[in-house]
Structure 1
């Protein structure tokens, strides 16, 4: 299992100057390495028999540029620019590894045919972190011990361990991050033992959840979690602060102070949202052994007229956190196709079309009357149980009823409804 804990650090003024200079030098190195890659791509993208002397540069075709050629050129870079000798060598190498990873995401599609965008040149201040790939080992550049963080060529500084490092984990790398309110270090640690998922025979409590904008989520048992929209609450204040920024001279001290003020507002919004997501995820994982959620097309939903509200509640971020918390506890999280979960009746399966303004599900076949979100949550749970091969005894409902495998009943091919 791989975990990352983020702690606040308190560097001195001299150490802040050193770290700021490292970020600026690494930013310039990133831009130079990216320029080499784009130049090579531009010179080699046309076939040799159809080379255009109008739109293509003339000259020798350069050798292929990749991580290994750029890493080998670090020695020459330090000779031409001696200030790079002050940066820890592994941090420079990791900076090139980041660029290589971004380049490959753009050039080669992933297993699900998704490609990243083209890597961009970074403006001053856009590169906000550097990495020490090894921690607490003989050749490491970072050491964490007794509440002190020691960074090679930077010095020792206090680290606020608001929660202790877990026992049995090996510290792997440390990432120093500059945020709007100060400096932080993200410590990644690894343990070979991975919690095994709870066996299906031992699953006792199950729940389906339907996310929404009226209520953040509704469970299949009828419980709701109120929605939290931190961006909506501060958007007027944020717009006013951005107007103040537009009236200041770009690059002045007042401009930079206002920029930091706006960044702190965004940071507070993100922290409120993240805290709400983790609290909700832990509450669900503590109570249930299997959680059924929707596999939503969030990119498509974000393009609708409700896009700002959907991005504000951040369903995708919540489901990712829920999966991460569930893995640590051995709880199952099952994603199902959400198509038709709102219009299908959870009692009889009849189709009951309804607009977004209709908040109650009223079935014309079995005359069931239930909240539309609770009806969708029940359908989501039923699909998840079918996917993993579990069913609930007829008439048992949810509650404390334990779902069982179909073969334990001597199942003869007739699927019993969950409700």
Structure 2
């Protein structure tokens, strides 16, 4: 399940939800050449448009009545460059370079929209005051996708009929529809992209049957989840899931292929073959990890009405010496998937500040200092439980304030326990807990 197809995008819009279904394509060799040519031409146009914006920024970064202390470009100051001015120049681009006439016009506009979003993300901070990185020039092969913004309508460039996708100026391509598009879902746009193992199409679907969130007074089951490296996560009722370590297990095979790649002559057939094998290995590991995340997320959402998790600074943690293990478990990707699945099911999720949750006692609230090497929480009140279990109980307490549910999971200071954590395998049945 979800080796080829993934619901990896989800966004709320009023009462609708946007899902992304991905299917594999079977293009002909001629169509492959056409799509690769489109990607290369769009890459060149992207770089040219980015150069225009950077040139305008460098020439106008100083006010008109003063000079820059660093440098001042000489020449005529250009007018402001934005999406609308660059989109209006597409007609002139096709006159100067006739090969761009073979690319569907909407795909070229979407390419400029992609640049415009990256540009604004760099210059305009978000509500938290953070900005994205500076847009970079794309190397050959980095732009391997293009978008048809309209599907199955009068002026659309893409039409899906059965298992056949008809693209303007490309032709009809067979689609492997290994799961049907649900009834009532409207296809908003189609993105053609290339991966290491072939070409895919991602349909953006609008789902108007979004379930309403469960009322707060009807929440019956809640849990806190503590993520870690020894155990992937531990719930407030003592259940844990082991860390799969997909990248660690694939390291030996990956290193062997990378050594073979290093010995190959750059640009030769063996070189390109080795590059593709390395890319396929990374793609396989990513798919394994995402499938595992979906299984755990569905198991949690099916088991609990409210899931409390910790708001971790994952980027900061990934700068430590544990970076490889932290990036392998991919907590951030899992939390996004879990929240998306919860919204789709009408369940609740809540993030809380994790400070002190591993140190404070979940029974009496006392502060019990311990290092990371100490994996058992032992308090003077008599509570002796697993360290991650104690943290999950504290997270549940913080997230269930004001709710009509037991916030401590049944562990009070009058009921000290000494118990081991039980492991759960979410794969034993399809998105259900083990019996």
TM-score, scaled to structure 1: 0.92
Among 172, 178, 181, the residue aligned to 1:156:
172
Q: Which residue of 2 aligns with 1:283?
A: 299
What is the correspondence of 1:13-52 to structure 2 with a 5 Å cutoff?
Answer: 13-51=29-67
What is the correspondence of 1:144-293 to structure 2 with a 5 Å cutoff?
Answer: 144-293=160-309
Q: Which residue of 1 aligns with 2:372?
A: 356
Distance 1:391 1:60, change over 3 A: same
Among 5, 16, 22, the residue aligned to 1:6:
22
Rounded to whole Å, the distance in 1 between the matches of 2:202 and 2:259 is: 34
* 1:389 and 2:422 aligned: no
Q: Which residue of 1 aligns with 2:85?
A: 69
Residue by residue, what CA displacement relative to the aligned partner does 1:228-247 show, whole Å, maximum 9, x if unpaired?
Answer: 11111122322232222222
Q: Which residue of 1 aligns with 2:393?
A: 378
Alignment length, in residue pairs? 396
CA RMSD of aligned residues (A): 1.6
Residue by residue, what CA displacement relative to the aligned partner does 1:370-411 show, whole Å, maximum 9, x if unpaired?
Answer: 11110100000111001x53442899569xxxxxxxxxxxxx
What SS does the aligned partner of 1:50 have? coil
What is the correspondence of 1:77-156 to structure 2 with a 5 Å cutoff?
Answer: 77-156=93-172
What SS does the aligned partner of 2:151 have? coil
What SS does the aligned partner of 2:169 have? coil
In the alignment, is the contact (CA less than 8 A) between 2:393 and 2:408 conserved in 1? no
Q: Would you identify which runs of 4 or more consecutive aligned residues in structure 1 move more than 6 Å?
A: none
Rounded to whole Å, the distance in 2 between the matches of 1:135 and 1:395 is: 50
Rounded to whole Å, the distance in 1 between the matches of 2:389 and 2:270 is: 51
For residue 249 of structure 1, report the CA deviation from its aligned partner. 2.2
Residue by residue, what CA displacement relative to the aligned partner does 1:100-131 show, whole Å, maximum 9, x if unpaired?
Answer: 00000001111111111111111111101000
Unaligned runs of 5+ in 2: 1-16, 413-435
Rounded to whole Å, the distance in 2 between the matches of 1:211 and 1:58 is: 55
Rounded to whole Å, the distance in 2 between the matches of 1:335 and 1:310 is: 19
In the alignment, is the contact (CA less than 8 A) between 2:237 and 2:409 conserved in 1? no
* 1:368 and 2:412 aligned: no
Q: Which residue of 1 aligns with 2:420?
A: none
What SS does the aligned partner of 2:400 have? helix
Rounded to whole Å, the distance in 2 between the matches of 1:247 and 1:395 is: 57
Mean CA deviation greater in 51-60 or 146-155: 51-60
Distance 1:165 1:48, change over 3 A: same
TM-score, scaled to structure 2: 0.88
For residue 150 of structure 1, report the CA deviation from its aligned partner. 0.8
Hey, which of these two has a bigger chunk of helix by percent? Answer: 1
Rounded to whole Å, the distance in 1 between the matches of 2:107 and 2:201 is: 14
Residue by residue, what CA displacement relative to the aligned partner does 1:50-84 show, whole Å, maximum 9, x if unpaired?
Answer: 33598332111000000000000000000000110
For residue 253 of structure 1, report the CA deviation from its aligned partner. 2.1
For residue 213 of structure 1, report the CA deviation from its aligned partner. 0.7
What SS does the aligned partner of 1:48 have? coil
For residue 260 of structure 1, report the CA deviation from its aligned partner. 0.8
For residue 314 of structure 1, report the CA deviation from its aligned partner. 0.5
In the alignment, is the contact (CA less than 8 A) between 2:397 and 2:408 conserved in 1? no
Mean CA deviation greater in 75-84 or 162-171: 162-171
Q: Which residue of 1 aligns with 2:10?
A: none
Distance 1:56 1:138, change over 3 A: same
What SS does the aligned partner of 1:6 have? strand
For residue 169 of structure 1, report the CA deviation from its aligned partner. 1.4
For residue 89 of structure 1, report the CA deviation from its aligned partner. 0.3
For residue 307 of structure 1, report the CA deviation from its aligned partner. 1.2
Rounded to whole Å, the distance in 1 between the matches of 2:338 and 2:322 is: 24
Q: Which residue of 1 aligns with 2:415?
A: none
Distance 1:184 1:395, change over 3 A: closer
Unaligned runs of 5+ in 1: 399-419
Mean CA deviation greater in 53-62 or 332-341: 53-62
